[in-house]
A and B are shown apart, each in its own frame.
Chain A
């Protein structure tokens, strides 16, 4: 093991040994890092489970066991009964092309700018259902969590909302009917 030799001197002295060194050292580095990481993880109070549950279900279940998402059937029922307020988390362009009737547009990417104007007249206990597109629930989940943080008590997510809605041939509104 070189003590204070420069890299070049080391290279000249050891020559071809360097390639073999590189290989075993990479293995040793990985082993060392994993060992170190696991030890640190074990010792900390906020340790991460080695096998995390990253399914949608787990990510959408809060510590009390309640789920953030709502089934499509329930959402449809609430829509028919007009007892929920739908909020579209997608971009304004997509909202204008088509959205759930009476839904408001609050694009997640614009949330800081538009949050107040879009939600100032909504009472905190209103049942709000956010939706976007895609099964990985990015925009709608982020928006729902944000709304919950902001004091709305009753927020749910309709997973893969737009796809499910159009697949079910449910009514669709275009243009900026309600912003």
Chain B
């Protein structure tokens, strides 16, 4: 079933994405700071809470729990990430994406990153449609 695979794929992506960031909060905080979007006061809180949110969303997607909220939150989160990436690419900031790891070498922001996140958003959008708009 399409929704089952979508849930599992997206759930796995979120869970996987959260690991390195939960393990290295200081490095992730550095990455969040480098985006130069949030005010300084919110950086650490975001660095601590965001990976946990990703983990929770990933698990809930897989176990099919609180689906309306989970899927809505996934869409909001991915849209925000893509927005932040595009915004910083537009203003020429070349920084560590911080998407899947906190090491600077592996994950610089570029068009590929945006495309990758957009494909996640497509899966997430499909789930949104399945939950809210699909009528038998």
Stretch of A29-37, A70-78, A82-90, A165-173 that contacts chain B? A29-37
Could you tell me if B73 and A29 are in contact, using CB atoms closer than 8 angstroms?
yes
Which B residues between 37 and 86 are near A, CB-CB below 8 angstroms? 40-41, 43-45, 47-49, 51-53, 55-57, 60, 64-73, 76
Among B25, B26, B41, B48, the most chain A Cβ lie within 10 Å of the Cβ of B48
Is A19 touching B56 in the complex (CB atoms < 8 A)?
no
Known: A22-B68, A28-B66, A48-B44. A54 touches B33 (CB 8 A): yes
| A-B residue pair count with CB separations less than 8 angstroms | 112
Q: Of the 9-residue stretches A6-14, A93-101, A125-133, A153-161, which lies at the interface with chain B?
A: A6-14
- Report yes or no: A25 in contact with B68, Cβ–Cβ below 8 A: yes
| Interface residues of B, count at CB 8 A | 41
Contact with A along B96-131 (1 / 0, CB 8 A): 000000000000000000000000000000010011
Instruction: Supply 18 further A-B pairs (C-beta < 8 A) apart from A4-B64, A52-B29.
Output: A18-B132, A19-B132, A22-B69, A23-B69, A25-B66, A25-B69, A25-B72, A25-B73, A29-B73, A33-B52, A33-B55, A37-B49, A37-B52, A38-B48, A46-B26, A48-B47, A50-B45, A52-B43
Interface residues, chain B, with chain A CB atoms under 8 Å away: 1, 3, 22, 25-26, 29, 33, 36, 40-41, 43-45, 47-49, 51-53, 55-57, 60, 64-73, 76, 127, 130-132, 134-136
Give 17 pairs: A residue, B residue, CB < 8 Å, sorted on A. A6-B1, A7-B127, A7-B134, A8-B134, A24-B69, A26-B76, A29-B56, A32-B56, A33-B56, A36-B56, A37-B53, A40-B22, A47-B25, A49-B44, A50-B48, A52-B40, A54-B40
